[in-house]
Amino acid sequence: MNVTAIDWGIIAAFFVISLLIGLFTAKQAGSSAKEFFLSGRNMPWWLLGVSMVATTFSADTPNLVTDIVRKNGVAGNWAWWAFLLTGMLTVFVYAKLWRRSEVTTDLEFYELRYSGKGAAFLRAFRAIYLGVFFNVVIMATVSLAAIKIGGVMLGLSPIQTLLIASIVTVVYSSLGGLKGVLLTDFFQFFIAMIGSFGAAYFILDLPEIGSLNNLLAHENVADKLNFLPDFTDPNVYIPLFIMPIAIQWWATWYPGAEPGGGGYIAQRMLSAKDEKNAIGATLFFNIAHYAMRPWPWILIALSSLVIFPQISDLQAAFPDIPADKLGDDLAYSAMLTYLPTGLIGIVLASLIAAVMSTLSTHLNWGSSYIVNDFYLRFVKPEASDKELVSVGRISTVLLMALSALLALALSSALDAFNILLQIGAGTGLIFILRWFWWRINAFTEISAMAISFVVAIFFEVINPKVNWILIPENQAYLKLIYSVSITTVGWLLVTFLTRPEKDEVLLSFYRKVTPAAFGWKKVLDRYPAEKQVMGQLPKEIGLMVIGAVMIYSALFSTGFFIYGNILSGFIAAAISVAGGVIIIRSWKKLN
């Protein structure tokens, strides 16, 4: 691959602009901890929405999609398409609730909703568990993608790649705080979109591919095109479709798609100007994430099946890549080596943007947990804003260093994705219900967290092949069912065997957030003077369903047009437009 001076110039310009944004926002970000982590709670929906999209457009995402498509075809993407249901639930039900809570981080929620030592333990433990452990694993998968891109496209060693990617990201993240991250995300989003669409367009015109029609007709690709899996084979359709759409989206916790909102999505909702901007940001994010972005990645993944049908073909083409880094996900980077001068510079800049936008968000989000939910709350409550910002900047550097070390040990983005899903299995329903059911307490969450972790360790570490009588080897998807069932039964038992929160804590939360009162009646009935606000929860859930249909229809409409099925494309587009009209009209009537 020939990276010319023009390409390097484009990449250098990208780095310079990113650093300048960090320097530009450094003074304001350093003025207070709330400014550093929430940008003064004054951010507009469009900036927050674009930032959410840029963050989830990580360099490991197209690698993950490529891995999925090469193994399971287009239908395999339901593993993450199903999370749209979670996203739309957040849009219409939870976005406004998070904004009303006025917490600094979603972990601060614990001491708003619960009380006592249990709430304090939850906040402290999850600050380290999520802010360090989980966060480092996620950043390591992103860094792994950077390693593969750097190795294939630039001939860099893993350590060289990590040094280049991490230093610039750490500098602007630690200087500019959340506002610097948001502004850089905005710039990086457009670079990333231009790069992915440009790459797909050029690759389809390669002599080996010939055209879009030739690609779709190729014997290696023709059986990979269906949007839905083969429903004659339960070993195919159950793990690829039924499990994600029926269980996975609400039962598992995964960063960026948390049931009930959370993590860096909650951080952006909390930094919005008001509830309207919080809702608008999450709606834009879900439209862009699921309807706008997937097809360039899918087309490149399908093209890779023509040029590199087997992993052995990748190994032959790139003999210097370490054996433990070879996998189907490497095919995305391999296809980009065919791009011409100029475009390769833009695409490389877009991939660097994808890496940096995700890393910067996770660095700021993780350090916000360390600072606000651990250091300020439990170590030094009297710490000044200047000290808190300094701790945030130091923790940013340390998080990046830990994730880089872990990245050197990982081999597959899909493996990490599955492990994270398994660890969060069975906890999702709590995050949905805790706003609306008074009976959930701190011990509910503690028990769910402990049980899901132990079950995940058993399935993924102690007995990863699941060679025991209850789960045949060819039905390993049942791991998720067992994990969700064991964890859910466990936390429900703990909930009913432990005392509920005190009435004053429950009432304080209810008055602050005003969720629909359906699940709070038993408490509220004890206080006749307390206003019972039923809200519009049924209507909001209806809009969630309509919104999901709207976005899925837009996604499939694009696919139908790509496949040359024009009539189906127009029908799906009409359904999507109708859903959008219903949402716009209903939105005006929502309180």
pLDDT tens for residues 50-82?
A: 888 877 776 667 888 999 999 999 999 998 899
CA separation for the pair 338, 305 (Å, rounded): 15
Domain range for residue 453? 425-501
Same domain, 465 and 550: no
Residue 510 lies inside a defined structural domain of this protein: no
Q: Does the pLDDT of residue 495 top 60, yes or no?
A: yes
Residue 511 lies inside a defined structural domain of this protein: no
Structure token digits, residue 485: 């069932």
What pLDDT is recorded for position 35? Answer: 65
The confidence band for 468, taking pLDDT boundaries of 50, 70 and 90, is very low
The confidence band for 440, taking pLDDT boundaries of 50, 70 and 90, is very high
Residue 201 lies inside a defined structural domain of this protein: yes
Same domain, 64 and 157: yes
Same domain, 442 and 470: yes
What pLDDT is recorded for position 268? Answer: 83
Boundary (domain end) residue, out of 483, 501, 519: 501
77, 328, 452, 257: CA torsion to nearest 10: -40
Same domain, 329 and 415: yes
CA separation for the pair 371, 391 (Å, rounded): 7
Residue 524 lies inside a defined structural domain of this protein: no
CA separation for the pair 124, 383 (Å, rounded): 17
CA separation for the pair 99, 267 (Å, rounded): 10
Q: Does the pLDDT of residue 149 top 80, yes or no?
A: no
The confidence band for 27, taking pLDDT boundaries of 50, 70 and 90, is low
Q: Please give the tally of structural domains in the chain.
A: 3
pLDDT tens for residues 316-359?
A: 888 877 776 678 888 888 898 888 877 888 888 877 777 777 78
Rg of the chain, C-alpha, whole Å:
24
Same domain, 138 and 123: yes
Same domain, 28 and 132: yes
| Residues facing residue 8 across a β-bridge | none
Higher pLDDT, 343 or 544: 544
Q: Which residue has the tokens 């910067």?
A: 360
Encoded amino acid at 479, one letter: K
Count of beta carbons in the 10 Å neighbourhood of residue 473: 9
Whether the Cβ atoms of residue 424 and residue 253 lie closer than 8 Å to each other: yes
Residue percentage of the chain with pLDDT more than 90: 31
**Reduced DSSP (H G I as helix, E B as strand, rest coil) percent helix, strand, coil of the chain, to 5:** 75, 0, 25
Mean pLDDT of 533-540: 85
Residue 146 lies inside a defined structural domain of this protein: yes
Residue 100 lies inside a defined structural domain of this protein: no
CA separation for the pair 231, 229 (Å, rounded): 6
Same domain, 444 and 377: no
Q: 149 CB contacts (<8 Å, ≥6 apart)?
A: 59, 161, 333, 336, 348, 351, 355
| Average pLDDT value over all residues in the chain | 83
Q: 155 CB contacts (<8 Å, ≥6 apart)?
A: 1, 320
pLDDT tens for residues 383-437?
A: 887 888 888 888 888 888 888 888 777 665 555 656 666 677 788 899 999 999 9
| Residues facing residue 468 across a β-bridge | 471
pLDDT tens for residues 212-223?
A: 999 999 999 999
What pLDDT is recorded for position 461? Answer: 65
Whether the Cβ atoms of residue 58 and residue 142 lie closer than 8 Å to each other: yes
Rounded to the nearest 10 degrees, the angle between the axes of helix 60-72 and helix 343-368 is: 110
Higher pLDDT, 312 or 8: 312
What pLDDT is recorded for position 494? Answer: 95
What pLDDT is recorded for position 473? Answer: 44
Same domain, 415 and 437: no
What pLDDT is recorded for position 85? Answer: 94
Q: Which residue has the tokens 């980009």?
A: 336
Same domain, 493 and 577: no
What pLDDT is recorded for position 306? Answer: 93
Instruction: Tell me the pTM.
Output: 0.84
Whether the Cβ atoms of residue 272 and residue 281 lie closer than 8 Å to each other: yes
Residue 77 lies inside a defined structural domain of this protein: no
Structure token digits, residue 529: 């003077």
Same domain, 39 and 10: yes
Boundary (domain end) residue, out of 391, 421, 451: 421
Residue 49 lies inside a defined structural domain of this protein: yes
In this structure, of 122-136, 143-157, 355-369, 559-573, the range with the lowest mean pLDDT score is 143-157
Query: 120, 139, 143: which is closest to 131 by C-alpha?
Result: 139
Structure token digits, residue 533: 């606000």
Encoded amino acid at 190, one letter: F
Same domain, 385 and 434: no
CA separation for the pair 384, 380 (Å, rounded): 9
The confidence band for 469, taking pLDDT boundaries of 50, 70 and 90, is very low
CA separation for the pair 521, 539 (Å, rounded): 20
Same domain, 440 and 586: no
Boundary (domain end) residue, out of 421, 439, 457: 421
b/e per residue, 49-74, with b = 16+ CB within 10 A? bbbbbbbbbbbbbbbbbbbbbbebbb
